[in-house]
């Protein structure tokens, strides 16, 4: 059976703007940025751990016809596209403050939950993201 | 055309996120319209067009969802839960809660306590992160326009959400 999750995908409205955000602000790194003829294949990973790549796809041909692409874009913008990522961090509050200082749009400040401390944000396009600090072992 | 729709959707999502984050505050149309860069006169109609329900109904469901958790997982008195989630009066809280959930707050709490006492069954969705809890547990009942009154005779409903300064209620 399967042994690893290697790729997941998020739809974004603009790949350059996505790079500014996911790399420039969140601190991910580019894994692949390639013109594969039919589209720009753009994936990012955590620095130092490329076991999971997040593909940043733009709705449109060849994945979608124009009318479908327009619908997907509108869904992304109202937070309804269905994608999302949850990261783990060793320091939720510190990361929150650092990202806020960079102008990242948070939808929930850090809160203690039974599974740890976490907070929520959106990427520039409307996709929901979250990061969690696991509870420290007592 | 589509660009304009995307831009509108994104701005209204920002206003909806504000409801989710600031539900306990006395939100009004003017403040949310500012977040969305929409004129107050157009805000509610645009919100409904994008999200399928009026902003005040969305706010009510958010508040009631928060109240349900506090009633389940804390022993705070109902009067404090009411204030915690942004209602200014116990009357409007109780009516809205009953309209959304189908039973009054105290009955809801009693039922949960009884169910918990009956068996230590762990709630499966208690494993979901907060964003999913928020989305999955939000009640879908219709409190806003013409709620069916509870079995007991219900007083006339207020048109506001019961928040402070409700002259410009959503």
pLDDT at residue B116, rounded to an integer? 85
B56-164 has which CATH code?
Answer: 1.10.10
The answer to whether residue B104 scores a pLDDT higher than 80 is yes
State the nearest Cα–Cα gap between B23 and chain A, in angstroms.
12
pLDDT at residue A61, rounded to an integer? 87
Could you tell me the two tokens for A84?
Answer: 């999302």
Q: Is residue A1 part of a domain?
A: no
- For B44, list phi and psi in degrees, rounded to 5: -60, -40
Higher pLDDT, B32 or B131: B32
CB contact under 8 A, B131 and A128: yes
Give the closest of A13, A107, A132 to B20, CB-based. A107
Q: Which domain holds residue A14?
A: 7-133
Domain of A124, CATH number, reads 3.10.180.10
CB contact under 8 A, B10 and A77: yes
Which residue in A has a C-alpha nearest to residue B126's C-alpha?
A: A114
- For A126, list phi and psi in degrees, rounded to 5: 125, -5
Helix B29-36 and helix B2-22, axial crossing angle in degrees, nearest 10: 140
Which residue in A has a C-alpha nearest to residue B17's C-alpha?
A: A107
CA gap A10, B117 in Å, rounded: 43
Could you tell me the two tokens for A85?
Answer: 């990522």
Span A7-43, pLDDT tens digits: 999 999 999 999 999 999 999 999 999 999 889 999 9
Span A34-81, pLDDT tens digits: 999 889 999 999 999 999 999 999 999 888 999 999 999 999 999 999
CB contact under 8 A, A126 and B10: yes
pLDDT at residue A59, rounded to an integer? 95
Q: Is residue A48 part of a domain?
A: yes
Higher pLDDT, B36 or B126: B36
Strands A40-46 and A7-11: unpaired
CB contact under 8 A, B7 and A77: yes
pLDDT at residue B167, rounded to an integer? 36
Give the closest of B12, B14, B129 to A118, CB-based. B129
For chain B, give the mean pLDDT. 81
Higher pLDDT, B142 or A136: A136
The answer to whether residue B162 scores a pLDDT higher than 50 is no
Domain ranges of chain B: 1-52, 56-164
Mutate to test the interface with A, among B55, B122, B130, B137 (most CBs of A within 10 A): B130
Residue A96, SS3 per DSSP: helix
CB contact under 8 A, B13 and A122: yes
* Count of the separate structural domains present in chain A: 1
pLDDT at residue B169, rounded to an integer? 43
Question: A62 preceded by cis ω (within 30°)?
Answer: yes
State the nearest Cα–Cα gap between B126 and chain A, in angstroms.
9
State the nearest Cα–Cα gap between A24 and chain B, in angstroms.
21
């Amino acid at each position: 059976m399967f042994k690893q999750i290697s790729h997941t995908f998020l739809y974004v409205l603009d790949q350059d703007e996505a790079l500014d955000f996911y790399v420039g602000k969140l601190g991910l790194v580019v894994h692949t940025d390639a013109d594969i003829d039919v589209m720009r294949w753009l994936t990012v990973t955590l620095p130092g751990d490329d076991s999971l790549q997040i593909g940043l796809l733009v709705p449109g041909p060849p994945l979608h016809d124009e009318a479908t692409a327009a619908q997907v874009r509108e869904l992304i913008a109202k937070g309804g596209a269905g994608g999302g990522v949850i990261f783990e961090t060793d320091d939720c509050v510190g990361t929150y403050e650092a990202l806020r200082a960079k102008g990242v749009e948070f939808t929930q400040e850090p809160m203690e939950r039974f599974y740890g401390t976490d907070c929520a944000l959106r990427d520039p396009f409307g996709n929901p993201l979250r990061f969690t600090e696991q509870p420290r072992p007592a | 055309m589509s660009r304009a729709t995307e831009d509108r959707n994104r701005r209204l999502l920002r206003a909806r996120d504000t409801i989710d984050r600031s539900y306990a505050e006395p939100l009004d149309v003017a403040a949310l319209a500012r977040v969305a860069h929409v004129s107050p006169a157009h805000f509610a109609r645009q919100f409904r067009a994008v999200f399928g329900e009026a902003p005040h109904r969305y706010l009510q469901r958010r508040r009631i969802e928060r109240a349900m958790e506090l009633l389940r997982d804390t022993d705070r008195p109902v009067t404090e839960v009411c204030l915690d989630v942004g209602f200014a009066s116990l009357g409007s809280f109780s009516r809205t809660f009953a309209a959304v959930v189908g039973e009054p707050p105290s009955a809801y709490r009693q039922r949960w306590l009884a169910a918990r006492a009956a068996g230590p069954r762990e709630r499966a969705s208690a494993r979901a992160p907060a964003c999913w809890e928020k989305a999955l547990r939000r009640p879908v009942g219709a409190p806003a326009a013409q709620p069916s009154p509870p079995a007991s005779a219900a007083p006339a409903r207020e048109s506001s959400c019961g928040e402070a300064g409700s002259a410009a209620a959503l």
